[in-house]
Amino acid sequence: MNLELKDKVIVVTGGAKGIGEGIVRLLAKEGAIPVIIGRNEDDNLKTLQAIEAAGGKAFHVVAELSRPDECEKAVKKVIDKFNRIDGLVNNAGINDGVGLENGNYEKFMASLHKNLIHYYLLAHYTLPELKKSKGAIVNISSKTAETGQGNTSAYAAANGGRNALTREWAVELLKYGIRVNAVVVAESFTPLYEKWIQTLPNPQEKLKEIESKIPLGNRMTTTEEIANTVAFLLHRKSSHTTGQWIM
């Protein structure tokens, strides 16, 4: 499907690996200019170079998004480079295992900065440009907000916040024609997921057990499948869709 995203500047946080990388690659394939915002320059450049080698265009900004000042600086760099922003994909985060029993105030608040606060800040700082372009926002979220997981209070709270902000922003930004939706991910085999599975006894056996319970093929959702949904939500072909959680 031609989503007519050619030369659209789309900011993707955490766009160098996992789900973010899948989104960035798909957007570049559709002719957009994805802008990776991530903390690791080597990872950013690796994905950027792969896109350029395939004939696409992309850009990157190095930023530690858990630091509010770096969120603002990162957006400014994008605006200075392109003088526009057509879309925002809030994706960066990590399930860092801050639970109720094993956590504390400092760890809980630090996790919120890693997983939720920058969603607000990136939307806040890109909003003036999104108003001009009548762009769209897509928040990547997780099923943990709805199902729970155990030993992950901070991450679950962050995802509950992501879902709530999706509907709150959808209402607030209606007057500007800016749509806001969320893609709520269940099981996708990202580098972080692989790192987690390796911490368990018999990781391969556990992975097979998890996959056996997943419908539609007994397999993980691919990052490309998630990216396809994100790209559709960014474009005007979904022009009457806002405030939705796409599970």
**How many other C-beta atoms are found inside a 10 Å radius of the C-beta of residue 235?**
20
**How many other C-beta atoms are found inside a 10 Å radius of the C-beta of residue 203?**
13
* Strands 59-62, 87-90: pairing kind: unpaired
Q: Could you say which of 119, 125, 155, 193 is catalytic?
A: 155
Q: Report CA-CA distances (Å) from 90 to 15, 85, 163, 197.
A: 9, 14, 12, 24
Catalytic residue flag (residue 120)? no
The residue assigned the tokens 């690791």 is: 40
Integer Cα distance of 231 and 213 in angstroms: 28
Token readout for 84 is 């526009």
Integer Cα distance of 162 and 168 in angstroms: 10
Q: DSSP for 188-238?
A: ---HHHHHHHTTSSSHHHHHHHHHHT-TTTSSPPPHHHHHHHHHHHHSGGG
Residues annotated as catalytic (active site), given as ranges: 155
